[in-house]
Amino acid sequence: MPGAEPGRPEAMMQSNTSAHAGLEIDEEITIAIMGATGSGKTTFINTISGSNLQVGNGLKSCTSAVERSCHFQLFGRNITLIDTPGFDDTTISDTDILKMIAAYLSTT
C-alpha cells in the first residue's frame, strides 16, 4: 500500500452506500485489515470489536482464512472488520492471500 509503514497492519475500507464526500450516519462500513503475519491484526480486531477470533503464539502463522468480526459501532456508524491471513505467512503465498481477500470481498 503506497505510503504505508512496513510491518504495520493496513486497512482497506469498503462502503455499502454510493460514494460521496460525507459518510451517512447509518452507513455499514467494512474494513479489511491486512499486514504481515504476527503483526497483531487479529488481536487488534478482537480488542476493538469484542470478537474472539483465534490469536497466534510463537512464530507460526495463525489466521488461515478470511474471517469477519462482530459488528460494533463507532461514532454512530456500524462497522465490521475483516481479518485476513498475514503476508509472509509460513504456509500460504502472498499471491494466494491476496486472491483469498479479493474473492471474499467480491462476495460480500
**Which listed option, Mg ion, ligand GTP, none, makes contact with residue 69 (CB within 5 to 8 Å by class)?**
none
Contact between 32 and 106 (Cβ < 8 Å): no
From 33, 34, 62, 97, residue interacting with Mg ion (rule: CB under 5 A): 62
Give me the residues that bind ligand GTP (CB under 6 A), please. Answer: 37-43, 55-57, 61-63, 85-86
Per-residue DSSP letter, 29: E
Residue 32's SS3 state is: strand
Region of 18-26, 57-65, 72-80, 92-100 interacting with Mg ion (CB under 5 A): 57-65
DSSP 63-97: --S-EEPPPEEETTEEEEEEE-PPBT-SSS-HHHH
Question: Residue 39 binds what, of ligand GTP, Mg ion, none (CB under 5 to 8 Å, by partner type)?
Answer: ligand GTP
As a dihedral over the C-alpha atoms of residue 103, residue 89, residue 1, residue 22, rounded to 10 degrees, the angle is 50
42, 46, 49, 80: residue in contact with Mg ion (rule CB under 5 A) = 42
Tell me which residues touch Mg ion (CB under 5 A).
42, 62-63
